[in-house]
Copies of this chain bind each other. A is one copy, B any other.
């Protein structure tokens, strides 16, 4: 998946600034989701903390990123699929949160349909599996 920050910004009516481009580049670099603290560590010299928060919020609202909370309540961000929009996030895939390295993966597994009890109307469903990821599993088995 090729990422073109400038195009993405234009498509979502966001001004093209170097901070915004940097954030998108950084998040697009890795296939796994990246946490706010990690982003801050990487971009802290170039971008102010507050600006980073504001950019991430803007991206989430516009449907550019989706936000995944890990078990500690830390925000993690990943690039949305192209079909996401302001109105609806289509990140209806399962997330995998490694309890060892803490990385969050977007799996290519759809969330099964869930039937809601009478009276409850779900607009989004979120599924996160916790366990040991591919990489950590290899490392632990002493390979």
Contacts and interface: CB of A to CB of B under 8 A. Distances in A.
Nearest to A129: B122
Given A73-B74, A115-B109, A128 B130 contact: no
B127 A125 contact: yes
Given A69-B73, A73-B69, A73-B73, A111 B127 contact: yes
Work out how many copies of this chain go into the complex.
2
Interface string A92-105: 00101001000001
Given A71-B69, A73-B75, A116 B129 contact: yes
Nearest to A117: B107
A1 B98 CA distance: 34
A128 B123 CA distance: 11
A52 interface: no
Interface residues of A, number: 38
Contacts of A27: none
Interface in A114-143: 114-134, 137-138
Given A73-B69, A73-B75, A75-B73, A122 B130 contact: yes
Given A73-B73, A73-B74, A137-B119, A124 B114 contact: no
6 contacts: A96-B120, A118-B134, A119-B134, A120-B134, A121-B131, A126-B127
